[in-house]
Amino acid sequence: MKITEMHVTPIVLGDPPLLNAAGLHAPWCLRTVVEIVADNGLTGLAEVPGSAATNAKLEAARDVVLGRDPRNWHGLRGALRERFGVESIAARGDKPWDQRALVQVESALDVACLDLQGKAYGVPVAQLLGGVVRERVPYAAYLFYKYEGAGGDLAFGTDPKATGWAAARQKAALDPAGVVAQAEAMVAEFGFESIKLKGGCFPPEQEVAAMKALRERFGPKMPLRLDPNALWTVETSIKWGKELEDVLEYFEDPCRTQEGMAAVRKALKLPLATNMCTTSFDDLPGSVRHGCEDIILTDHHFWGGLRASMELAAHCRTFGRGVSMHSNNHAGISFAAMTHLGAAMPNLTYALDTHYPWQWEEIIIGGRIKIEGGFVTLPKGPGLGVELDRAALAKAHANFKRAGLKERNDEIEMQKKVPGWKFAQTRW
Ligand code: GKR
Ligand code: MG
């Protein structure tokens, strides 16, 4: 098998005004769809977070990719590293999400090659990752503080005809009662059995009160998580973490650095999770040395692909870490890839994060992937088990051109609501 074509298509999907440590989501979130075509006529798909930098790297990778055998991942990855080198950990940046571009190029090609192989052999990607350990993969409700509004074409309004979760998705949620109402609607629609709140938006007492209100409403059987995206100091994390010891399943990235997280972990009787202090293979020695977290949130887009995430899972098993999954806004190709990884990872110990309920558009045939009882069933069919809906892709690409976004910048979006607002690495 040889790769004969590679296509890179930037798209946007509507995104409501969700708050986080870095500001506010724009009315559109950026994604990039990658297709590789082989000489047997089969196509492999992948999706990564979109940015001008990643897209440029993907375009630059084309001549390394063409002519290669998609079954020889080590050969292709080696050639990519020879061409582009390896990114430093510092390139991740200080935002909640990872800003490296090369890991995303590797991820896109790893996933697309696996999809191609799965289609050629007639087996699901999860099988190529070692086998299907579970057919149904658990996901968690992912709550956000938010302003009123729907995002996308409804950026400056709401759809008065919306009902159920679609209506709740448009409502503001800025205090504990709003957060509980959002959780009720999301859990009723999707049946989630764990809940995460994106924090780092309001003073700790307000976010801790929201977690206590969730506990009060859903009881001790519903695992809860809070993620302030490292905006709290070590002292603040310890002070408010003590209030949460009997409330949370885990506390995600309360503060910055492996040393900071290790100090918090020593002081609290509460598992800590991260997608900010241990985010690459180069961080693993420090993770073991400092003992900075109990759970590592993998994300195949940022760890260099599905196979790399399986390597991370093996490391977690060896060093006694739990594994869960981080997410950013995404569409169905990424959701399918995340689900194959969740299906194949033997030591998956927690329900995975997904932003999927916040989007409503899709670019795959058949439309939205179903989340039922909090689980996604492994897609049927070979490879990832999803196919591109060409008309939907063309529409999302036209919206990309119309939106005129080059990269995610939540600070600029926040400044439209709060003039002069600035991102701070540490706020409380
Ligand atoms: O989508 O606003 C967001 C999140 O803050 C996201 O960017 C983070 O990367 O979900 C993420 C996290 O768990 O840190
Ligand atoms: Mg996080």
- Residue with token string 């009720």: 184
CB under 8 Å to 375, separation ≥6 — which residues? 136, 137, 138, 139, 191
Evaluate whether residue 327 is within a structural domain: yes
Measured from the Cα of 98, ligand 1's closest atom is 9
| Nearest bound ligand to the CA of residue 254 | 2
Domain range for residue 102?
3-127+389-401
Whose Cα sits closest to atom 13 in ligand 1?
Answer: 326
| Nearest bound ligand to the CA of residue 17 | 1
Clarify whether 198 is annotated catalytic.
yes
Measured from the Cα of 21, ligand 1's closest atom is 5
Q: 287 alpha carbon to ligand 2 midpoint, in Å?
A: 16
Are 106 and 136 in the same domain?
no
Evaluate whether residue 245 is within a structural domain: yes
- 157 burial via Cβ count (<10 Å: 0-12, 13-18, 19+): exposed
> pLDDT averaged over the chain?
97
Evaluate whether residue 413 is within a structural domain: no
Has residue 86 got a pLDDT over 90? no
User: Among residues 25, 57, 119, 198, which one is catalytic?
Assistant: 198
Ligand 1 test: best mutation among 328, 334, 359, most atoms within 8 Å of CB?
A: 328
Evaluate whether residue 412 is within a structural domain: no
**pLDDT tens digits, one per residue of 247-294:** 999 999 999 999 999 999 999 999 999 999 999 999 999 999 999 999
Element (H, E) at 103: helix 102-121
Are 306 and 338 in the same domain?
yes
Q: 300 alpha carbon to ligand 2 midpoint, in Å?
A: 14
Are 123 and 136 in the same domain?
no
Percent of the chain whose predicted confidence (pLDDT) is above 70: 100
Alpha carbon distances (Å) from 293 to 132, 148, 281, 324, 357: 27, 35, 15, 12, 28
Contact call for residues 51 and 101 (beta carbons, < 8 A): yes
Q: 326 alpha carbon to ligand 2 midpoint, in Å?
A: 6
Clarify whether 326 is annotated catalytic.
yes
Evaluate whether residue 328 is within a structural domain: yes
Are 226 and 353 in the same domain?
yes
- Residue with token string 């052999």: 121
Measured from the Cα of 142, ligand 1's closest atom is 10
Question: What confidence tier does 300 reach under pLDDT thresholds 50, 70, 90?
Answer: very high
Closest C-alpha among 391, 411, 408, 422 to residue 15: 408
Count CB-CB contacts under 10 A for residue 171.
Answer: 18
Are 119 and 150 in the same domain?
no
Determine the pLDDT at residue 149: 94
Evaluate whether residue 408 is within a structural domain: no
Are 116 and 170 in the same domain?
no
Determine the pLDDT at residue 157: 81
Alpha carbon distances (Å) from 388 to 43, 90, 333, 365: 10, 35, 8, 6
- 318 burial via Cβ count (<10 Å: 0-12, 13-18, 19+): exposed
Measured from the Cα of 327, ligand 1's closest atom is 10
Amino acid at 131: G
| Nearest bound ligand to the CA of residue 353 | 1
**pLDDT tens digits, one per residue of 356-396:** 999 999 999 999 999 999 999 999 899 999 999 999 999 99
User: Among residues 326, 330, 340, 355, which one is catalytic?
Assistant: 326
Are 103 and 178 in the same domain?
no
Evaluate whether residue 227 is within a structural domain: yes
Determine the pLDDT at residue 88: 86
Q: 225 alpha carbon to ligand 2 midpoint, in Å?
A: 10
Q: 392 alpha carbon to ligand 1 midpoint, in Å?
A: 26
Ligand 1 test: best mutation among 13, 15, 19, 20, most atoms within 8 Å of CB?
A: 20
Are 8 and 142 in the same domain?
no
Alpha carbon distances (Å) from 212 to 217, 224, 228, 258: 9, 10, 15, 27
Number of domains in the chain: 2
Determine the pLDDT at residue 159: 87
Are 201 and 305 in the same domain?
yes
Helices (H) and strands (E) in the chain, counts: 15, 14
Q: Residue 105 sits in a domain of what CATH number? A: 3.30.390.10
- The rounded distance, in Å, linking the Cα atoms of 20 and 2 is 43
- The rounded distance, in Å, linking the Cα atoms of 229 and 211 is 16
Average pLDDT for 83-96: 90
Average pLDDT for 38-66: 97
Evaluate whether residue 410 is within a structural domain: no
CB under 8 Å to 391, separation ≥6 — which residues? none
Count CB-CB contacts under 10 A for residue 227.
Answer: 27
Question: What confidence tier does 89 reach under pLDDT thresholds 50, 70, 90?
Answer: confident
Buried (b) or exposed (e) across 52-85, using 16+ Cβ within 10 A? ebbbebbeebeebbeebebbebeebbeebeeebe
pTM recorded for the entire structure: 0.97
Residues with CB under 5 A from ligand 2 (ion): 227, 252, 275
Has residue 176 got a pLDDT over 80? yes
Are 96 and 180 in the same domain?
no
- Residue with token string 């629609």: 189
- The rounded distance, in Å, linking the Cα atoms of 272 and 116 is 37
User: Which tokens is 203 given?
Assistant: 């003073």
Q: 146 alpha carbon to ligand 1 midpoint, in Å?
A: 14
- The rounded distance, in Å, linking the Cα atoms of 304 and 312 is 10
Whose Cα sits closest to atom 7 in ligand 1?
Answer: 97
Has residue 116 got a pLDDT over 80? yes
Q: Residue 190 sits in a domain of what CATH number? A: 3.20.20.120
Ligand 1: which residues within 6 Å by Cβ?
18, 20, 96-97, 198, 227, 229, 275, 326-328, 355
User: Of 98-102, 129-133, 187-191, which gets the smallest average pLDDT?
Assistant: 98-102
Are 269 and 222 in the same domain?
yes
Determine the pLDDT at residue 135: 97
Q: Which long-range contacts (CB under 8 A, 24 or more apart) does 406-409 make?
A: 406/51, 406/52, 407/30, 407/51, 407/52, 407/53, 408/26, 408/29, 408/30, 408/49, 408/51, 408/97, 409/23, 409/26
Are 165 and 302 in the same domain?
yes
Has residue 156 got a pLDDT over 80? no
- Rg for the chain (alpha carbons), in Å? 20
Closest C-alpha among 25, 75, 26, 33 to residue 50: 33
Determine the pLDDT at residue 376: 98
Q: 302 alpha carbon to ligand 2 midpoint, in Å?
A: 13
